[in-house]
Amino acid sequence: MGLTISEKILARHAGRDSVEPGEIVMVDVDVVLANELSAALAIDEFKKIEGAENILRPDSAVFVPDHFTPNKDITTAKLVQRVREFALSQNARWFEVGRAGIEHCVLPQNGIVGPGQVIIGGDSHTTTYGALGAFSTGVGSTDVAVAWAIGKTWLRVPPTFKVTYHGQLQPWVGGKDLILYTIGRITVDGATYMAMEFHGEALAGLPMAGRFTMANMSIEAGAKNGIFHVDDVTREYLASVRHTSYTEYSSDPDAHYEHEIEIDASQIEPQVAFPSIPENARPVSQAGDVKVDQVVIGTCTNGWIEDMREAAQVLRGHHVAPHIRCIVVPGSQEVQRQMVKEGLMEIFMDADCIVSTSTCGPCIGGHMGVLGEYEVCLSTTNRNFVGRMGARTAEIYLANPAVAAATAVAGHIVGPDEVVGRRAAA
C-alpha cells in the first residue's frame, strides 16, 4: 500500500522507507520555532538537559517574539530580554520588532520553511507551513528544548483525513471560508491527531494566503497538521522568497486515508463562525442582525497582503461606523511595507481604521485591542473561545477580511456585496 504525503515526509526524516499511522518515530527536525512565551519555558528545560550547552544546529532555531510585542509592560520586556539574550548567545535566528512580525508570516516570507521539511514550533498554529507541503506541527516547550539539544523529536505518525473541494469558488470566498465550513461540518474534534490533507480543483487558484489560513486553522479541527501538495502556485511563492532547495512529496494513488470527505465548494458563501467555537459556522446571509463593537482584520490567519487588498477593496470610499473600532494588523513588516507601496495604508486611514504594528496582541486578548465586558467583535483571527480576546463576557465572531471590512462599515455583520454594491450605486 502506498503512503500519504505526511507519511513520506516522516519516513524520510526517520531514515526509513515507510511508516504507518500509530507508530512512534524519532525524526530529524529542519526548523524549530519559538516565540517569547514558549521560548522562555524551553530555555529552562534546555538548561536541565545534561551536556546541553549549545543548540546543536543554531541555524535551525528560529525565535520570533510576537505575542506581547512591542513590549506591553515591564514584565513582558524582561521576558523578551531574556529570550533575546539566549537566542543571540546561541547564534540562532532572531527576528524582532522592525524587521519581523507575526511568526507564522515571518518564517515563510524569509524563505525559512518549505516543502518536504519537518517543522516544529512552540505554538499550536505552527501547522501553517503545511501550506507549502511541509509536515509542520505545534509541540510543547520541552519538545522544543530537546530538539535544540539533539536536532530530533518524537512523533506519533498521524492517520490522514482527506478533504477534497470541488467546483469553482464564489466571489468573496477564500481559504477562511473553506476551512470554517469544513470545521462546521466535521466539528472541532473531527480530525483529532490526524493529518488534514487538502485536495481538489477548487483549490487550484487559491493563493498562498488562503492556503496558509487553511493549514493554520487545521488545528481548530483537532488536526496534528494540515498539508497541501506543491503546485505552481507554491513554486511561484517559494521562488519569490528565494527558497529554492527543497524536495516535493506527494501522496500515492493507493495511499490509505482514515477518513475522506468531498465538498462542493461552489455552494459555499462567505462564512461566519458564531461564539464561542469555530465549528459554529453559518453563511453570512444567515447571520441576522448582530451589532458589533470592534473589528479586527489581519493577524497570522488573514494578515497577508492578499487579505489587506481584499479588505481595502471593500473599505475604499467608506468610513467605519461611528461606534466601531476597526483594527488592522498586518502579518509582518514586509506586508506593511507592501501596503504602503500600494496605497492601502491611506485607504485604511481614510476609512477611520487604525493600522497596528504586527502583533498577536488582539488575537490573544493581550494588548492592542482587548475586549471589554459584553463587547462584540468580528475578527479574522483563528479562535473565538470564551475569554480569548479579552473579557469572558465578550463575544467573538470569525470571518474573512471582506466580511470583516463590510461589517466595520455597516456596524453589524453583513456580507461585502452590501457595502461594495452601495458604493457602486452611489
Query: Which residues, given as ranges, of the chain have pLDDT below 50?
Result: 425-426
Report the C-alpha gap between 230 and 251 in whole angstroms.
Answer: 11
Predicted confidence at residue 50, as pLDDT, reads 92
Q: Model-level pTM greater than 0.95?
A: yes
Beta strands 294-298 and 376-379, pairing class:
parallel
DSSP-assigned letters across all residues of 44-113: HHHTTSTT--S-SSGGGEEE---SSTTT-SHHHHHHHHHHHHHHHHTT-EE--TTS-B-HHHHHHHTT--
Phi and psi at residue 259, in whole multiples of 5°?
A: -140, 150
Residues in the chain: 426
Residue 1 pLDDT: 83
Contact indicator for 379, 397 with CB cutoff of 8 Å: yes
Residue 188 main-chain phi, psi, to 5 deg = -70, -10
Determine the Cα angle at 193 with ends 189 and 195, to 5°. 105
Q: Quick one: pLDDT at residue 421?
A: 76
Over residues 173-223, the pLDDT tens digits come to 999 999 999 999 999 999 999 999 999 999 999 999 999 999 999 999 999
Q: How many CA atoms lie within 13 A of 339 on its CB side?
A: 31
- pLDDT score at 163: 98
Domains of the chain: 5-263 (3.30.499.10), 271-425 (3.30.499.10)
Distance CA 301, CA 141 (A): 23
In the prediction, which pLDDT does 423 show? 56
CA–CA separation, 414 and 420 (whole Å): 11
- Cell 535566528 maps to which residue? 93
Measured CA to CA, the distance from residue 157 to residue 277 in angstroms comes to 27
What is the Cα gyration radius of the chain?
Answer: 21
